[in-house]
Amino acid sequence: MINVVLLQPEIPNNTGNIVRTCAATGAVLHVIGPCGFSWEDKYLKRSGLDYWDISEVRRYENIQEFLLKNFNYSGEENMDKAVKIAYTSAGVQTLFSSTKGRIIHSDIKFEKDCFVFFGKETRGLPEPLLEDNYSSTFRIPMRAQARSLNLANSVAIVIYEYLRQYGYHDLLTEGHLSQRGRRI
């Protein structure tokens, strides 16, 4: 399954909406702190609705804890180099979403158990991290006049591209009208 990695998110509503999207799709959400909000924030809870019980959210104090728990890596390099060494050593596809990427998200061939990093709402992923991982950095196309998309929307776009590539495995792909209780 796709692993969504939020690096120091700042806005509780976005993270709550991402929790809901991950719960609805089966994606695993990894949140690396420090965050710009409290996990008790009412907007975070409200945005996630009643999906908290069916979501898989893993929280980390910092990038080192994330790398140790997911890639079994505990090196002393700076974050930017450590991330690349960790996922390369583990042989796990790790991608980075940024407006600075040259590859289009739909041109990526997602591996089954990949990790996709997303940055802060106000600044995105740190540029040194992108420099060290630029060949794995992609963008979602948008008009030249737009700076960026909303973080929760970007995560949803990437998750659904991943799911499309795997035929929406384990997801309901057909609905029905509830008033009539039958399919049309």
Has residue 97 been placed in a domain? yes
Has residue 177 been placed in a domain? no
Residue range of the domain that includes 98: 3-165
DSSP structure string for the chain: --EEEEES---HHHHHHHHHHHHHHT-EEEEES--SS-TT-HHHHHHHTT-GGG-EEEEESSHHHHHHHHH-----S-HHHHHHHHHHHHT--EEEE-TT-SEEGGG----TT-EEEE-BTTTBS-HHHHHHTGGGEEE----TT-----HHHHHHHHHHHHHHHTTTTTS-----BTTTTB--
Has residue 180 been placed in a domain? no
Its pTM stands at 0.92
Has residue 87 been placed in a domain? yes
Has residue 173 been placed in a domain? no
Supply the CATH number for residue 61's domain: 3.40.1280.10
How many structural domains are present in the chain? 1
Report pLDDT digits (tens) over 117-151.
999 999 999 999 999 999 999 999 999 999 999 99
Has residue 91 been placed in a domain? yes
Report pLDDT digits (tens) over 39-57.
775 756 665 557 778 899 9
Has residue 104 been placed in a domain? yes
Has residue 182 been placed in a domain? no
